[in-house]
Structure 1
C-alpha cells in the first residue's frame, strides 16, 4: 500500500494545490486498499466546505476509492522536509519502511531537519532518519503523551 499511497500523493497534492490557492496537502494516507484520507491545511483553517471542495476535485478517484478529507488535527502529519523543519524542538513519532538502528518506530524530539533527513533525539540517543524511509510521521499531542 505504501507504493500506492506515494503515487496518490504525487498525483493529488499538485492538482489540489493548483486548483485551490492556499491549500496545502500535508499527506495522503491509505486507510485500507480501497480507502484513503487526504490531510489538508489552509492559513484560514479547514472547514467542511473546504473538505467538500477537495473531495469534488478528487471525483475521478471515487470509482476506485472511498475518500476522506480532513484537517491535520493536533497530531499533524509530517511528510515533507519543510514539515520537519517546522517541527524542530517538538515531539514526534515516526514509522519507517525498513529498520534503522534496529527498529522501525521512533519517538522523540526533532533536533534538526535538512533537505534529506531529520535528526531525532530520544533520551540520550539520536538517530538520523532519511525522509524516503518514512512511512508515517506525526506530531505528538502533548496533552495525550503516554508514559
Structure 2
C-alpha cells in the first residue's frame, strides 16, 4: 500500500517541482504512533526555504485531495532533507565525492554491515570510502547493489 501511495505522490509532485526548479530527494509514507505521515523531501542548489516548502505543500495538497490516493487521515509534510540527506541514486554519490557518508549494507562486508567515512569515488557501481579504524585510515570498496541505505553524515572531527 505505501509504495502505491509514494508512487502516486511522486507522479503528482514532479510537475510542481519541475516548475519551481526543485529536486525530489525522497518520499516516505509511514505510521508513527497512531498517525500516518506522508513526507516529501525537496532540495535545490543552496538549499530550500520555508516559502518553497509551503508552496509545494499547498499545490501538492490540492492535487492529493483531487486524486485521493490516501483514504484515511494523514499529515503531509514537505521539507528539506537536512544535513544528513539520504543518498538514493548513483548521481547522489557522484555529487557528494569528498563528503562524509554513512552506509548500511544488506549483509556484512569484511565483518561489518555499517561504514562511515569520506566518499572517495563512485565508479563502475563501486563506492570507495576512506574509513578510520582507530588511528589508521583505510579504503573500503563496496558494490553499489549491496547498499541498503546511505546518507550524508555530519562529522564532528
State the TM-score, normalized to the length of structure 2.
0.68
State the TM-score, normalized to the length of structure 1.
0.71
Does 2:149 align with 1:136? Answer: yes
Q: Is the CA contact 1:13–1:24 (under 8 Å) kept in the aligned structure 2? A: no
Instruction: Provide the aligned length of Structure 1 versus Structure 2.
Output: 139
Residues 1-147 of structure 1 aligned to structure 2 (within 5 Å): 4=2, 10-21=7-18, 22-32=21-31, 34-43=36-45, 45-56=47-58, 57-58=60-61, 59=64, 60-61=68-69, 63-64=71-72, 65-96=74-105, 98-101=106-109, 102-114=111-123, 116-122=125-131, 123-130=137-144, 132-142=145-155, 145=156
What is the alpha-carbon distance in structure 1 between the residues aligned to residue 122 and residue 87 of structure 2?
A: 12
Larger radius of gyration: 2
Residues 136, 68 of structure 1: alpha-carbon distance in 2 compared, 3 angstrom cutoff: farther
RMSD value, Cα: 3.0
Quote the offset at 1:50 in angstroms: 2.2
5+ long unaligned stretches in structure 1: none
Residues 36, 125 of structure 1: alpha-carbon distance in 2 compared, 3 angstrom cutoff: farther
Quote the offset at 1:104 in angstroms: 2.8
5+ long unaligned stretches in structure 2: 132-136
What is the alpha-carbon distance in structure 2 between the residues aligned to residue 138 and residue 94 of structure 1?
A: 7
Q: Is the CA contact 1:36–1:66 (under 8 Å) kept in the aligned structure 2? A: yes
Quote the offset at 1:112 in angstroms: 1.2
What is the alpha-carbon distance in structure 2 between the residues aligned to residue 9 and residue 94 of structure 1?
A: 23
Residues 27, 110 of structure 1: alpha-carbon distance in 2 compared, 3 angstrom cutoff: same
Larger deviation: 81-90 or 26-35?
Answer: 26-35
